[in-house]
Amino acid sequence: MNSPIATTTAVDIDQRWQHFAPDLPAEKVLFSDVIPGGCHWSWALPRGVALRLTALGAGANLSLVLYSAREKLERYNMPDSLKAQHTAHYTRGHVLMSDMGRAMASIIHDELGWHDPLGLLLDKRRMDTKYGEHNYQQFRNGMHRAGTDGLLIEIGKYGLARRDLVTPANFFSKVTVDEEGRFNFTPHHAPAGASVDLRMDMDVIVAVSAAPHPLDPRPDYAPAPVGIAAWRCGPAPADDYCRAFCPENARALHNTDLLYLA
C-alpha cells in the first residue's frame, strides 16, 4: 500500500468513504481507510490526488508530515510555511511548503477553520507520565501509542530516520499563543464529522499518526479515529483558490509546477 497510487480507476475500493465522505464523486475515489485512534499509516501519493481527512470522533488529532517522493531530502518546512503566509494556523487557502520554496500540499476544503502547525508530537516519555504505561506485552492492541514513535515507524519504511522527522501539521487541533508566548490548547475544537481536504501538489510521501495532541488536557488516553479517503482532484488550476490566496502561495505553486513541465 506504500507504492505510488495509479491515476486509473482502482479495483475493489473499500467503501468506508461513503460513510464519512459521501459527497465525494465515486468515480474519483482511489481508496479509503480508517486510522484507529493512536495508530499510524503512510502512503506514496502522486501530484493531483487529495486526501479527505475526517474526524470520526470528537477531539480527534492527526499529525501529518510530508516528504518529496522524488528527492526525500526535500520535506515539509513549518517555519517557512508560516512565515511566507503570515499565519500561525492552517485553514483553506494555506499551502504546506517545502524547504525548497515549493508547494507540497494545499488545503482546498476545510470545515473547521483552524489546524495546529506549532504543537509538535506526543512522545513516549510524556505519554507514559500523563496516561500511564500501557505496553503491547500486557495490553496487546489496547496499548498506548505515541505520535513520535508512530511517525518514526512510518518514515522508516522509506529509508528515513529520526534525524529526518520534521515538525508535523496537527489537523483537527487548535493551539493559540498568548501575549506571554505560552501555548494554549482549545479543548473540544473538532466535532465528530469535521473534515479537511489536502491536495498533493507534488509526488509525496505522507505519514500520519492519530495519537493525542501533546497539549490535550484530557486525563484519559482516548484518541478518536480518523477517516481517510484519497480522490483525484487534479493539479492546482490557474484560478486555484490557494494560488490566489497570497503572492507567496502563487510563487510556491509556480515553483512546483516547474518540476512537471515535461
Specify the DSSP element, H or E, that contains 78.
Answer: helix 78-85
Query: Dihedral, CA atoms, 167, 171, 172, 175, nearest 10 degrees?
Result: 30
- Please state, in angstroms and rounded to a whole number, the distance separating the CA atoms of residues 92 and 107: 5
Sequence letter at residue 139? F
How confident is the model at residue 182, as a pLDDT? Answer: 93
Give 141's DSSP letter: G
What separation, in Å, do the N-terminal and C-terminal C-alpha atoms of the chain show? 27
Q: Per-residue pLDDT tens, the chain, 262 aa: give them.
A: 444 444 455 556 678 899 999 999 999 999 999 999 999 999 999 999 999 999 999 989 999 999 999 999 999 999 999 999 999 999 999 999 999 999 999 999 999 999 999 999 999 999 999 999 988 788 888 899 999 999 999 999 999 999 999 999 999 999 999 999 999 999 999 999 999 999 999 999 999 999 999 999 999 999 999 999 999 999 999 999 999 999 999 999 999 999 999 7
Q: Cell 503572492 appears where? A: 247
Q: Which three cell numbers stand for residue 44?
A: 506514496
Contacts for 181 with CB less than 8 Å, ≥ 6 apart: none
What Rg, from alpha-carbon coordinates, does the chain have? 18
User: What's the confidence (pLDDT) of residue 13?
Assistant: 67
C-alpha cell at 240: 486555484
> Is residue 98 within 8 Å of residue 76, measured between CB atoms?
yes
**Strand, helix or coil at 140?**
helix
HSE on the CB side for 237, CA within 13 Å?
6
What per-residue confidence (pLDDT) applies to 19? 93
Distance CA 74, CA 152 (A): 17
pTM of the model: 0.93
How confident is the model at residue 262, as a pLDDT? 74
What separation in angstroms does the CA of 22 have from each of 3, 49, 52, 61, 144? 26, 17, 11, 21, 31
C-alpha cell at 14: 473499500
CA 78-120-209 angle, to 5 degrees, is: 100
